[in-house]
Structure 1
Amino acid sequence: MKLFLSFRNIHNWVSAGYADRVYAAAYKALKPGGILRVEEYRAQLGISSEESIKTGYMLEDDVIAVVEKAGFKLVGKSQINANPKDTKDYPASVWALPPTLRHKAFGFRTPD
């Protein structure tokens, strides 16, 4: 496999305790030089990891740490899906966001 996509689900995998297994399996399935793309809701700086996961938002450093633990190397980040209108203070957090407020992306790859 050359490409693995993960759309707004790492917060669920982390809170359920199996993100390490998911990304280890993705790493094993990808060919050398394979690409992993992660789109995730980014938490605001200053919030704890424990608090952010309850909201469905993830701290950027936490996303990177989980994925790199599986062996991936971060090769890029993008704000292409960033939305400054997402105030990150909705009563039901990310689970109540309108579709126009739901985007962020990270890019990783396996070493050659």
Structure 2
Amino acid sequence: GSIYFDVNKSDVKPAMRARLTEIAKALAAVPEQRVLIEGHTDADGSNEYNLKLSQLRAESVRSVLLAGGGAPGGLEAHGYGETKPIASNTTSAGKAQNRRVELVIEGSAAAPR
């Protein structure tokens, strides 16, 4: 699932914090696990602004995972701005779906990149 954000915000909502803490506990049991934390935005605003905002969203989620016990070496935060929408940016509902962070769980953190 995705973690969703309000317009122009990068702070993780309280309800999502609890969910991320549970995920962090599960990740702590498998410290070699590599997790890509991918931040996204809707298409409002400039490309440069959205790239920065998406990175802040990814780093915000990474911080919550670290606080919950996630292994720092296996958590990588990347912002993609508005380049990977999953819904239309022409409706408010679509934009809300695009303001997200996705967790992509891969194999070993020691694997070559």
TM-score range, shorter chain: 0.3 to 0.5
* TM-score in terms of structure 2 length: 0.42
Q: Name which structure has the greater RCO, CA cutoff 8 Å, separation 6+.
A: 2
Question: TM (normalized to structure 1)?
Answer: 0.42
